[in-house]
Structure 1
Amino acid sequence: MSEDIGFLEIAELGARYRDGRLTPIDVVRHALARIDCLEPSLNAFANPMAEMALADAEKRTSELASGLDLGPLHGIPVAIKDLIDVEGVPTGFGTRAREPQMATRDAELVGRLRAAGAIILGKTNLLEYAYGVAHPDIGQTNNPHNTGRTSGGSSGGSAAAVAGGIVPLAIGTDTGGSIRIPASYCGIVGLKPSFRLVSLDGVFPLSWSLDHAGPLARNVADAMIGLAAIADIDSAPQRDIAGLRIGLIDRHFGSHEITPGVREALDAALALLKARGAELVPISIVGLERVNTELVTVLHPEASVIHRDLLRQNPLGYAPVTRAQLEDGFKTTAADYLLAMRYRETFRASVEATFAQADVLASPSVPFVAPRQDPRIEDGEEGEMLSSGFANVSGHPSISIPAGMSEGLPVGLQLTGPLGRDAALLAMAGTIERAVGAYRRPKS
């Protein structure tokens, strides 16, 4: 059976299911074989769930054969980040601070995927509790384009599983860029939806005020299918590139941290868009210079409170960097936290106001290609979060799409849309994706 099966998009898999060329059993077997081939060099999976996935594949195959058709995700394998509960499967959280916890029920988003006919293929690796670093006992997930580079944090296992041709769709979480950063590094699509659009019931929190869950896929159409399964969204018409107003966030494109190769790739993508009739509009966002500092001021104490009891019980179970960040979070004053929360309200309004000038906002997803290890989260101008964190603070939907290559590694273009208009953002992202090029399969 051809290895190309692992790189088929959701619509093509569905078409082959329905005309008899493939079955969900074929695809799940192929996915498990691909895991065997790529692991442990990728280190993408905490638990492949082979037995359960094959049982579900048999069920979904029988359903389709009998005429029951639940829609585009029927029989499609999906990978789930290992801080999201899947009934009957341990949730490991990427830590050694406590033993994996057996999930007694599905997270709401997992239940919605099952109701749409999806097959849960396995649980993917992550940074410890989606926060500090990869726990040294677990290790980082590596990049399918170059296993000497990271796939990114914290949803790196989900990104690698998609980019490596194991599954067409995975679910991650994003608190400061943890879907979009791995998507950029791995050359795929990663969507952080509008705040609270996707239920976080059954998802272990990092920061109650900043957490989001969303899909990773190899193209915008598949990300849309994934989002439609886990959230209630309206449809939006396709957009023409001609006349589309793309707002270039000046602080992001003016960053000294953008490497020459990333800038060259993004300049080429923007030139293509302009040549096809898009209008490129410089955009300034009031208060953007403070956003990363204020994000950390909210994130650190919330994470510390969430981990307070476990940190007391087993501090040495955490990776040293994670433990240090959790301890540091208790130093944030109540006044500083409240001021940061107040800032969020005014900053959200500042971002929303820019859509009077532009239809969609653009930034480099990350100003550099995948490094060898995940950079640490630091206060202020930490480079990896330079572009991504602002949409977590404001709550706006934000997506990373492939936008060329640099140093043999993918470059991402981040697009951010009006609050609550996720389908419209996806429609614009699909238009831009068709203009600038799409996912590139790893050479290895």
Structure 2
Amino acid sequence: MSQSELHYLEAREVARLIATRALSSVEVTTAMLERIEKLDPTLHSYALVMRDEALASAREADRKLLAGGATGPLFGVPIAVKDLYWCAGSPTAAGTTIFRDFVPTEDATAVKRLRDAGAIVLGKLQLTEGAFATHHPEIAEPVNPWHPGHWAGASSSGSGVATAAGLCYASLGTDTGGSIRFPSAANGLTGIKPTWGRVSRHGIFALGASLDHAGPMARSAADASLLLGVIAGHDPLDPTSLPDASLALPDDAHDLCGPRFGVDPEWNSNGVDRVIVRALAQVVEVVKSLGGEVREVRFPEVRTVVDEWQVNCGVEVAVAHADTWPRLAAHYGPALTRLIEIGRETSGMAYQQVLLNRAALRGKINRLMSGIDLLIVPVQPFAAPTHEQLGALAQDPELNARLIQFTAPFNSSGHPVITLPCGLTEDGLPIGFQLVAAHGAEALLCRAGMAYQKASEWHKLHPVL
């Protein structure tokens, strides 16, 4: 198989080819590393390529397979992880300059579970500074492979770019206000923000601990489901992880008979670009054609919680950076500086009111979800913005609130979400949408995503490189 046919295969197909010895892990890993060497000097998706370690792991995988050793669901498959996840012996900078020499002595739990499933870790993927809005001024920003003049998504931008460009078969990201879903939408990918606590956060740099969610990004719902099944589950090293030991996810799905889908026409269209509204209307038609029941609902008012997201995150990021701020404040970029200062200036009473408003929204969403199974929502009110448009977002609270109006509510509430590609703009940029489920209903999200992708082709499109 030529490299041109290899790099856009799904992860589960690569695992099958390796398991049947049609390909070796060394062949696949070498091809990926060569593609990274060729394309990433322009795309800037990797913060660190772990070439020698990846090849050594691939050789060991091939040896085990020849010896008849046990294999896992990702055995021999090259993936990559956002540079927030600890990898033992490899620098983990978290998109900053102050942590660039930090070398953890253990893997993050999610990384360990990937390795236990047989995955080959190619390297660490670039992200915005500390996983907030923009990249550190001294670090090259990942380039959207669909159009270099447009946003690649924040903060898991490197994960989105590398996965879309065929520089890994899937990746791990994190999501505090939309940071798995934004780059998934911008790069034509499928991403899952699980229920809060579903995936251990042990060994992952924090942005806002109670808002942070770890999850997979892939080129199909089936691959995203496969990765989620590997990394999910209780972890005694993370006392906030959910107590259930495992997550049973479907391998395939063909229809949507049974689930009730909710749509709020007003919320989904108010201030939303027409191309997004049209794409959502097409999603609804596909859902109906697959047997899904679609109901009109009214989503609770979210503006207060969206407006307070920065205060909530600011307090928590100030705690996360207490050891380095203000001692190393001169080494921080402007966006993360502003967020930390917001947090440090917030009173305890104000923060308590934020938490009460969050709890109220969580309860209202729970009541809404008691009458439906899945909610159809845009990812953002516009397709991937230009860099000029993005530059204003981090500094303007009103613009930032508009950007996160469809994503941040589900970080605040902890509900699981899958993001799926559903179209292209006139300029050829990908468009994504979200399906939201009740707490713990990731299996339903994965089933719906796989069924939708059986009836659509958007996830099979790739950027021209």
Same fold (TM over 0.5): yes
Deviates more, 1:350-359 or 1:209-218: 350-359
Aligned to 2:338: 324
Which one-letter code corresponds to 1:241 in the other structure?
Answer: L
Which one-letter code corresponds to 1:249 in the other structure?
Answer: D
C-alpha deviation, 1:235, in angstroms = 2.3
Mapped pair 1:428 → 2:443: no
| 2-structure distance, mates of 1:102, 1:236 | 34
Aligned to 1:376: 394
Which one-letter code corresponds to 1:255 in the other structure?
Answer: N
Secondary structure at 2:455's aligned position in 1?
helix
Aligned to 2:220: 219
| 2-structure distance, mates of 1:378, 1:339 | 23
TM-score by length of 1: 0.95
> After TM superposition, which residue ranges in structure 1, 4 or more long, deviate above 6 angstroms?
none
Count of residue correspondences: 443
Unaligned runs of 5+ in 2: 234-245
Residues 267 and 299 in structure 2, CA contact (< 8 A), matched pair in contact too: no
Aligned to 1:244: 259
Deviates more, 1:13-22 or 1:45-54: 13-22
Residues 311 and 342 in structure 2, CA contact (< 8 A), matched pair in contact too: no
Aligned to 2:236: none
Q: Report the CA distance shift for 1:269/1:78 in structure 2 as closer, same or farther (over 3 A).
A: same
C-alpha deviation, 1:378, in angstroms = 5.1
C-alpha deviation, 1:240, in angstroms = 2.6
Q: Report the CA distance shift for 1:331/1:364 in structure 2 as closer, same or farther (over 3 A).
A: same
Residues 92 and 99 in structure 2, CA contact (< 8 A), matched pair in contact too: no
Aligned to 1:288: 302
Secondary structure at 1:214's aligned position in 2?
strand
Residues 121-140 of structure 1 mapped to structure 2, 5 A cutoff: 121-140=122-141
Which one-letter code corresponds to 2:247 in the other structure?
Answer: D
| 2-structure distance, mates of 1:395, 1:98 | 29
| 2-structure distance, mates of 1:5, 1:299 | 40
Which one-letter code corresponds to 1:442 in the other structure?
Answer: P
Which one-letter code corresponds to 1:129 in the other structure?
Answer: G
Which one-letter code corresponds to 1:163 in the other structure?
Answer: A
Mapped pair 1:234 → 2:247: yes
Residues 249 and 284 in structure 1, CA contact (< 8 A), matched pair in contact too: yes
| 2-structure distance, mates of 1:28, 1:355 | 43
| 2-structure distance, mates of 1:359, 1:379 | 33
| 2-structure distance, mates of 1:8, 1:252 | 37
Residues 381-396 of structure 1 mapped to structure 2, 5 A cutoff: 382-396=401-415
**CA deviations over 1:97-121 (Å, ceiling 9, x no partner):** 3443011111111111111111111
Aligned to 2:119: 118
Secondary structure at 2:195's aligned position in 1?
coil
Residues 305 and 354 in structure 2, CA contact (< 8 A), matched pair in contact too: no
Mapped pair 1:52 → 2:71: no
Secondary structure at 1:20's aligned position in 2?
coil
Mapped pair 1:398 → 2:411: no
Mapped pair 1:443 → 2:464: yes
Secondary structure at 2:445's aligned position in 1?
helix
| 2-structure distance, mates of 1:264, 1:251 | 14
Aligned to 1:337: 351
**CA deviations over 1:416-439 (Å, ceiling 9, x no partner):** 111012122211222223233341
Mapped pair 1:297 → 2:311: yes
Secondary structure at 1:310's aligned position in 2?
coil
| 2-structure distance, mates of 1:107, 1:252 | 38
**CA deviations over 1:39-85 (Å, ceiling 9, x no partner):** 22211000011111000010111111211232220111111111110
